[in-house]
Structure 1
Amino acid sequence: MTYELVVELARQTVITAFLLAAPLLTVALAVGLTVAILQTVTQIQEQTVAFALKLFAVGFALFLLLPWTLGVAVRFGVQLVRSVPAMVY
């Protein structure tokens, strides 16, 4: 196993992790900002509301994105398994 192979696998792992996390983090950010603005305008400072809405929104986004997420994860796993012979020799 060469140094370049290890670096490439680490790079691909980090990119895949960011690719999988970015949509959910974007949803959480958008909902969090929207709720914060609405709470500021209405002067309601209840943390449970923000948490519950973010939890629901991220859960719903996860449900919608699950097929895509699993596809990306499976493709990455298959690519990783196929690269095992190159790691051994």
Structure 2
Amino acid sequence: FHPQSNGKVERFHKTLKAEEVRRDAYQDYSDAKRKMSDWINYYNSERLHSAIGFLTPDEVFAGKMEERLAERRTKLYNATREREDYWANQQI
């Protein structure tokens, strides 16, 4: 147990309530369970999290953090070079 864990769990519940629970009316328990399960899958596999470098928890858990950050650095570097080349070749 870590004291920080409780805050993380509370923050997760706040996000779950804000993004799913309060936005939807559930028909019954099964409907609520299914929709919350779908949201949790989205939260872990698609939703980007600023606290972990705008990656998904699944990417971090799978050990892909450095790989993804390296891909982003490469894309940024290439885009910067392309933009510089574009403007260098413009005739004003």
Interval containing the TM-score (normalised by the shorter chain): 0.3 to 0.5
Rg (Cα) greater in structure: 2
Q: TM-score, normalized by length of structure 1?
A: 0.36
Higher helix share: 1
Larger RCO (alpha carbons 8 Å, 6+ apart): 1
Q: TM-score, normalized by length of structure 2?
A: 0.35
